Chains A and B, each alone.
Chain A
Amino acid sequence: MELRIENLSKTYSNGVKALDDVSLTIPTGMFGLLGPNGAGKSTLMRTLATLQDADSGTAILGDLDVLRQKHEVRKILGYLPQEFGVYQKVSAIEMLDHLALLKGVRDGRERKQLVEALLNRVNLYQHRKKALSGFSGGMKQRFGIAQALIGDPRLIIVDEPTAGLDPSERNRFYNLLAEIGENVIVILSTHIVEDVKELCTNMAIINNGRVLYAGAPAAALETLSGKIWRRQIGKGEIEDYQQQFRVISSKLVAGQPIIRIFSPIPPGDGFRAVEPDLEDVFFAQITDSQSNERDEEES
Chain B
Amino acid sequence: MFTTFFSFEVRYWMRRLMVYVFLAVVTFLVYLATSSDNVQIGGGVDNTFRNAPFVIQNFYAAMSFVMLLMTTAFVNSAATRDFTQDTAGIVFSTPIRKTDYLLGRFLGSVVVAVVPILGVSLGIVLASLIAGAGDPERYTAYNFFAHLNSILVFAVPNTFLIGAIIFAIAIWTRSTIASFVGALALLIGYSLAGGLLQDLDNQTLAMMIDPFGINTYNLVTKYWTASDKNNLSVGLTGWMLANRLLWVGIGTIFLAVSVWRFTFTERTKRGKAKDEEVLSQNYARIPSVQLTDTAATNLSRFWSEVKINFRTIVKSTVFVVIALFAIIDVMVTLYHSTGEGYGISSLPVTYRIIHLLVGSSSLFLIAIITFFSGAMIWREREAKFDEVYDALPFPTWVSFCAKFAALMGIVAILLALDILCGVAFQSLKGFHNFQLGLYARDFFLFQLLFFGFWAILAMLSHTIAPNKYVGYFIFVVVFMVNAFMANYFEFESKMLRFASFANYTYSDFYGIAPYFSQVFWFGLYWFLFCGLLAAITALMWQRGRETHYKNRFRQSFRNFRGTIRNVGIAFLLGFLCIAGWVYYNTLVVNKVEARPERQKKAADYERQFKQYENLPQPRIVDVKYNIELFPERRDLVMRGEEILQNKTDKPIDNVHLNLAVNFETDIELERAALEMNDERLNYRIYTLSPALQPNETIKLNFTVKYSNRGFENDLSQEQIMPNGTFFNSTIAPQIGYQPGTELQERNDRRRQGLPEKELMPRLERDCTTNCMNTYISNNSDWVNVETVISTAADQTAIAPGSLVREWTENGRRYFHYRLDHKALNFYSFLSARYEVAREIVNGVNLEVYYHKGHEWNVPKMMNALRRTYEYATANFGEYKHKQLRIIEFPRVGSFAQAFPGSMPYSESIGFIANLETPDAIDMATYIVAHEIGHQWWAHQVCGANMQGATSLSETLAQYTALMVMEKEYGRDMMRKFLQYEADAYLRGRGGELMKEQPLQTVEADQGYIHYNKGSLVMYYLKEMIGEDKVNAALREIIRNHAYKDAPYPTSYVLTDALRGQTPPEFQYLLKDLFEDITLFANRTIEASAKKRNDGRFDVTIKVLTQKLKADEKGLEQEVPIDDFIEIGAFAAPESSKRYGKTLHRERVKINKPENVFTFTVDELPEKAGIDPFALLVDRQPDDNLKSVSEQ
Chain A contacts to B: CB under 8 angstroms? 12-13, 46, 49-53, 68, 71-72, 74-75, 77, 79-81, 83-90, 94, 98-107, 110-111, 113-114, 117-118, 120-123, 126-127, 130, 134-136, 138-139, 142, 144-145, 147, 149, 151-152, 165-166, 168-169, 172-173, 175-176, 179
Contacts and interface: CB of A to CB of B under 8 A. Distances in A.
Interface stretch (B285-293, B986-994, B1062-1070): B285-293
Nearest to A144: B388
B280 A114 contact: no
B315 interface: yes
A84 B388 contact: yes
B301 A99 contact: no
A102 to B, nearest CB: 5
A10 B275 CA distance: 41
A114 to B, nearest CB: 5
Contacts of A127: 273, 275
Given A105-B289, A114-B287, A127-B273, A51 B300 contact: no
A113 B284 CA distance: 12
A118 B279 contact: no
A49 B312 CA distance: 27
Interface in B285-309: 285-294, 296-297, 300-301, 304-305, 308
B384 interface: yes
Given A105-B289, A152-B289, A136 B273 contact: yes
B759 interface: no
B291 A101 contact: no
Interface string B796-814: 0000000000000000000
Contacts of B379: 87
Interface stretch (B212-220, B391-399, B429-437): B391-399
Contacts of A168: 278
Interface in B1099-1128: none
Interface in B383-407: 383-385, 387-395, 398
A162 to B, nearest CB: 11
Given A53-B551, A120-B284, A151 B291 contact: yes
Contacts of A104: 291-293, 297, 393-394
A239 B812 CA distance: 112
Interface of B: 272-273, 275, 277-294, 296-297, 300-301, 304-305, 308, 311-312, 315, 379, 383-385, 387-395, 398, 543-546, 548, 551, 554-555, 558
Nearest to B543: A51
25 contacts: A12-B548, A49-B387, A75-B393, A77-B391, A79-B391, A89-B311, A89-B312, A98-B308, A102-B389, A104-B293, A104-B394, A111-B289, A113-B287, A117-B284, A118-B286, A121-B284, A123-B282, A135-B272, A136-B275, A138-B275, A151-B289, A166-B278, A169-B278, A172-B278, A172-B280
A107 B290 contact: yes
The 8 lowest CB-CB distance pairs between A and B, nearest first, are A85-B384, A51-B544, A74-B393, A81-B387, A104-B291, A172-B279, A75-B393, A85-B383
A260 B216 CA distance: 84
B390 to A, nearest CB: 6
A162 B286 CA distance: 21
Given A101-B300, A104-B297, A74 B392 contact: yes
Nearest to B544: A51
Contacts of B311: 89-90
A111 B780 CA distance: 87
B879 to A, nearest CB: 75
Given A110-B287, A121-B284, 6 more contacts: A50-B391, A51-B387, A79-B391, A99-B388, A102-B301, A117-B284
A106 B287 contact: no
Contacts of B392: 74, 99, 102-103
Contacts of B294: 106
Contacts of A94: 308
A102 B290 CA distance: 13
A51 B385 contact: no
Given A75-B293, A84-B384, A126 B277 contact: yes
Contacts of A152: 288-289, 291
B555 A71 contact: no
A87 B312 contact: yes
A85 B385 contact: yes
B640 to A, nearest CB: 73
A161 B558 CA distance: 33
B279 A105 contact: no
A72 B391 CA distance: 11
A13 B466 CA distance: 14
Nearest to B392: A102
Contacts of A46: 387, 544-545
Contacts of B278: 123, 138, 166, 168-169, 172
B391 A49 contact: yes
A45 to B, nearest CB: 9
Contacts of A172: 278-281
B388 A52 contact: no
Nearest to B388: A84
B279 A176 contact: yes
Contacts of A83: 384
Most buried by A among B315, B392, B395, B543: B392
A71 B315 CA distance: 32
A253 to B, nearest CB: 31
A103 B281 contact: no
Contacts of A165: 279
A75 B284 CA distance: 24
B297 A135 contact: no
A81 B548 CA distance: 20
Nearest to B288: A152
Contacts of B312: 87-90
Contacts of A74: 391-393
B301 A79 contact: no
Nearest to A165: B279
Nearest to A13: B548
Given A84-B388, A105-B289, A135-B272, A123 B277 contact: yes
A176 B279 CA distance: 9
Contacts of A147: 388
Contact of A87 (B296, B383, B554): B383
Contacts of A139: 273, 275
Contacts of A71: 393, 395
Contacts of B286: 114, 117-118, 121, 149
Contact of B555 (A53, A103, A110): A53
A144 B385 CA distance: 10
A224 B289 CA distance: 46
Given A111-B289, A121-B282, A142-B279, A50 B544 contact: yes
Contacts of A118: 286
Nearest to A166: B278
Contacts of A136: 272-273, 275
Contact of B383 (A49, A86, A113, A173): A86
A72 to B, nearest CB: 8
B436 to A, nearest CB: 35
A221 B297 CA distance: 49
B165 to A, nearest CB: 28
A106 B292 contact: yes
Nearest to A90: B308
A123 B280 contact: yes
A71 B297 CA distance: 14
Given A94-B308, A114-B289, A139-B273, A101 B388 contact: no
Contacts of A122: 279
B293 A84 contact: no
A168 to B, nearest CB: 6
A71 B843 CA distance: 88
Given A71-B393, A104-B292, A118-B286, A79 B304 contact: no
Which of A75, A111, A118 has the most chain B CB atoms closer than 10 A to its own CB? A75
Contacts of A53: 546, 551, 554-555
A86 B384 CA distance: 7
